[in-house]
């Protein structure tokens, strides 16, 4: 284990001790004995237990540990059904109230990115941050055209901290594979690798600006979601400038009710937006915690979402999207046999899985929550049953779906806060049925054919040349067809091993026979005995190979 990783693990333990989170350390198997070094440290005696609730101490510890831990807290903050209220309240502060870095540093970073003073770029720039998050913070400014904008600036040193913590995550994932029996099924290294791509992409604000532009195009003219405009001329990898929008943070329920917002419609529209992004656009905002979602109330009866922070987006390949949609539809229709078969067909479960047994297990998990409002569903118990089922049937984690699953949990958490009576499944079912019908429509098939027509035309154009080359090679005896199937290499290896065993057996038999002949005709038995022994050993070894 590298010294830097060991040092970071020790630092994590020390932060937990300093904030009085001893119970978490007692449950940490890795480096557990080292906690005594902290208990015996005078610095720890004076720093430990400075007061405050357990929620506040957890929040402060996550803030001190850095961006990856803050994001973990943000994700947890949307699940008030799974957390005590005091912890959930404190973690909610991580959504947009992370301690900021000094405004003069933000100015310096922006001026370095532009290569000139900010006074030459903006008419005004407020060094007091409007909001601060784990990766970047936001300042208000005004363009020389008079338009109000927000300027997002990446935190100094954040890349180095993230790279260090990713290294720690890889080490812990490797230890899990070495020492935890079921880690292979959870695929921890692949999960960390998938997360690494997501978090590293978030550091490039040009990529975030491109994500915002795509999402804005997808919802152009929509009554569901507003995405602010990107000002490309002012965007750099460390700085992004967008239109400033105004609205009510979605977690401010009292204000929404005071303004007369239709809360039920707002909750249903949230589900509609999610499924539209995933199945119609195949491009979804994957960081839907309350700090990134606002509500515009020009018409309170028809409230409109407004989104910010587009650093994390997701999409699915066609195969995963198909199987996911089919699973949802089968669930809505309570066709648990189809759910079971789809899990096997998709490769998410081993091919030898008993479909009837899986069907019974899926029915056991799904029936208790079907057609119930969110307020009557205990997702803690549902998750426990899902994990138990996955373990029983040797289900492997699908890293490419983790971002989507996290987003769905966030959307469900928002829905629970907004309108606990929301029937998540009933709201989503019409969207998926419409999507499935559109996929099978003649127009969809025609569109797909039109998209593939250039490739098909190019293939047809190249076909005569390819056939001519194949015929010429065949006539010269040079035509080779490469067949690469799983198992062929193993078969070749077995054939080669069989040939080696055969040759060794023949050599051993000849040597043994020679030894016997020598013993029969010679007065000196030793060479014959040696030959017999060598031949016998060769035959035994050949049989064991």
Catalytic residue among 81, 165, 254, 287: 287
Is residue 287 among the annotated active site residues?
yes
Q: On the CB side of 463, how many CA atoms lie within 13 Å of its CA?
A: 7
286: which 2 tokens?
Answer: 């994957």
Taken in order 368, 369, 375, 379, is the CA torsion positive or negative? positive
* Rounded-to-integer distance, Cα 5 and Cα 517, Å: 68
CB 70 within 8 A of CB 63: yes
Number of CB atoms found within 10 A of residue 311's CB = 24
* Rounded-to-integer distance, Cα 501 and Cα 350, Å: 34
* Rounded-to-integer distance, Cα 377 and Cα 530, Å: 80
Contacts of 312 (CB under 8 A, 6+ apart): 198, 201, 202, 285, 286, 287, 403
* Rounded-to-integer distance, Cα 411 and Cα 405, Å: 10
Helices marked H in 333-441:
336-345, 355-366, 379-392, 399-418, 424-439
Name the phi and psi angles at 140, rounded to 5.
-85, 150
Name the phi and psi angles at 305, rounded to 5.
-75, 150
* Rounded-to-integer distance, Cα 359 and Cα 339, Å: 7
Name the phi and psi angles at 320, rounded to 5.
-65, -40
Q: 205 vs 29, 113, 237, 268, 367, CA distance in Å?
A: 38, 12, 5, 31, 44
Positions marked active-site: 287
């Amino acid at each position: 284990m590298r010294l830097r990783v060991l040092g970071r693990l020790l630092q994590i333990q020390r932060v937990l001790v300093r904030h009085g989170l001893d119970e978490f350390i007692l449950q940490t198997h890795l480096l557990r004995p080292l906690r005594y070094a902290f208990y015996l440290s005078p610095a720890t005696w004076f720093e430990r237990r400075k007061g405050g609730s357990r929620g506040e101490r957890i929040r402060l510890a996550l803030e001190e540990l850095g961006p990856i831990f803050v994001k973990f807290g943000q994700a947890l903050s949307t699940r008030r059904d799974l957390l005590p209220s005091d912890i959930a309240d404190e973690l909610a502060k991580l959504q947009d109230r992370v301690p900021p870095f000094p405004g003069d540093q933000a100015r310096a970073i922006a001026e370095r990115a532009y290569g000139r003073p900010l006074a030459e770029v903006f008419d005004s720039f407020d060094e007091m941050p409007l909001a601060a998050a784990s990766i970047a913070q936001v300042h208000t400014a005004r363009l020389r055209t008079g338009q109000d904008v927000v300027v997002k600036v990446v935190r100094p040193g954040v890349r180095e901290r993230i790279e260090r913590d990713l290294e720690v995550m890889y080490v812990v994932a490797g230890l899990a594979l070495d020492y935890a029996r079921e880690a292979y099924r959870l695929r921890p290294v692949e999960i960390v690798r998938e997360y690494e791509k997501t978090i590293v992409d978030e550091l490039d604000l040009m990529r975030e600006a491109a994500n915002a532009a795509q999402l804005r195009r997808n919802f152009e003219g929509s009554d569901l979601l507003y995405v602010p405009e990107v000002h490309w001329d002012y965007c750099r990898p460390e700085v992004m400038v967008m239109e400033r929008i105004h609205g009510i943070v979605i977690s401010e329920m009292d204000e929404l009710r005071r303004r007369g917002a239709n809360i039920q419609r707002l909750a249903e529209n949230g589900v509609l937006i999610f499924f539209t992004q995933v199945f119609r656009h195949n491009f979804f905002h994957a960081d839907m915690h309350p700090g990134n979602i606002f509500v515009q109330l020009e018409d309170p009866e028809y409230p409109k979402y407004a989104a910010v922070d587009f650093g994390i987006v997701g999409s699915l390949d066609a195969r995963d999207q198909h199987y996911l949609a089919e699973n949802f539809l089968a669930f809505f229709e309570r066709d648990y046999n189809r759910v079971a078969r789809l899990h096997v067909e998709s490769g998410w479960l081993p091919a030898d899985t008993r479909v009837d047994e899986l069907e019974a297990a899926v029915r056991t998990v799904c029936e208790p929550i079907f057609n119930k409002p969110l307020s009557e569903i205990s997702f803690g118990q549902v998750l426990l049953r899902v994990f138990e089922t996955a373990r029983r049937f040797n289900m492997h984690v699908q890293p490419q779906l983790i971002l989507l699953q996290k987003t769905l949990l966030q959307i469900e958490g928002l829905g629970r806060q907004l309108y606990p009576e929301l029937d998540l499944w009933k709201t989503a079912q019409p969207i998926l049925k419409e999507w499935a019908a559109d996929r099978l429509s003649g127009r969809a098939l025609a569109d797909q054919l039109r998209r593939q027509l250039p490739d098909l035309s190019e293939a047809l154009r190249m076909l005569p040349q390819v056939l001519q080359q194949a015929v010429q090679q065949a006539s010269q005896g040079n035509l080779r067809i490469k067949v690469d199937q799983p198992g062929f290499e193993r078969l070749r290896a077995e054939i080669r091993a069989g040939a080696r065993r055969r040759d060794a057996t023949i050599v051993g038999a000849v040597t043994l026979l020679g030894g016997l002949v020598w013993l029969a005709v010679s007065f000196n038995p030793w060479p014959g005995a040696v030959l017999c022994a060598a031949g016998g050993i060769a035959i035994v070894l050949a049989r064991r190979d």
